[in-house]
Amino acid sequence: MDLPIFYDEAEAWSNTLLLYDAALKEVNTRLEILNKEFKLLHRHNPIEHITSRLKSPESIAKKLRRYSLELTVENIKKYINDVAGIRVICSYTSDIYRIADLIARQNDIKVLKVKDYIKHPKENGYTSYHMIISVPIYLSDSITETKVEIQIRTIAMDFWASLEHKIYYKYEGKAPEHIKKDLKECSELVSYLDKKMFSLSEEIKKLGKEDGYDRELSEGFSSVVADVAGTIVDEQEKGALKTGSKTEEEGKAKPKGKKRILFGLGT
């Protein structure tokens, strides 16, 4: 990633880019761990998928010009909060707030800024949850706090945002009024869809508990263990009976041993 910065800042930009790249990997790893933990403990994946990117040089330069700032490494680090960006796609709106809370509670992460466009949608209908955080990056001789922007949204929100983004660029930010109106209506449908899908999910969970699904799983597992243990005991008893019979018939002859079955394997 090359930027038209001053020559004497080229090395500083390379070092800064290293930090942003490391920050993306750090936050990605933490999110993946949280998702796996939820799957293990709650049989639910709050995260559908994660994408990450480093902002393009053109976008960085354009943003600084918009702020009437010089293109320097110091200005990039100070004023551009989304050089490193991560997008987290969740199943339900409740998962968004759960993930945001889990991130904020990590001791070495600082939440610098939050924008809740779910409770307060943008005028065009855009909904998402944005966090600017700083995460410590451990280098050989220092620890550097590095900023990352995290966008958390549902599948439906991401679908709407992706199409709106394409339309925005097609019309260079000047879409006809009727298209803007239709997009706004679609965003309202997306909100309804998210609420409806969450309601269905909760209903399915409730029905599962009423039907004793969790209890049946537990009892089924216990039954398998009991059957296996019973098989071992039965085989031991059969072996003992055979040995006793041979002892009576053969007098003092030593028993040749017994056969046991363990999980279907002969020993």
Could you give the residue numbers annotated as active site? 149
Contact 74, 6 (CB under 8 A): no
Contact 133, 148 (CB under 8 A): yes
Contact 147, 84 (CB under 8 A): yes
Give the contacts of 175 (CB within 8 A, at least 6 positions apart): 167, 168, 183
Contact 112, 105 (CB under 8 A): no
Contact 147, 83 (CB under 8 A): yes
Give the contacts of 41 (CB within 8 A, at least 6 positions apart): none
Pairing of strands 110-116, 129-138: antiparallel
Could you give the C-alpha distances from 40 to 199, 201, 228, 259, in angstroms and in order?
A: 23, 19, 26, 38
Could you give the C-alpha distances from 12 to 61, 74, 141, in angstroms and in order?
A: 16, 9, 16
Contact 227, 221 (CB under 8 A): no
Phi, psi of 113 (to 5 degrees): -160, 145
For tokens 């216990």, the residue is 222
Q: What's CA 195's distance to the chain center, in Å?
A: 20
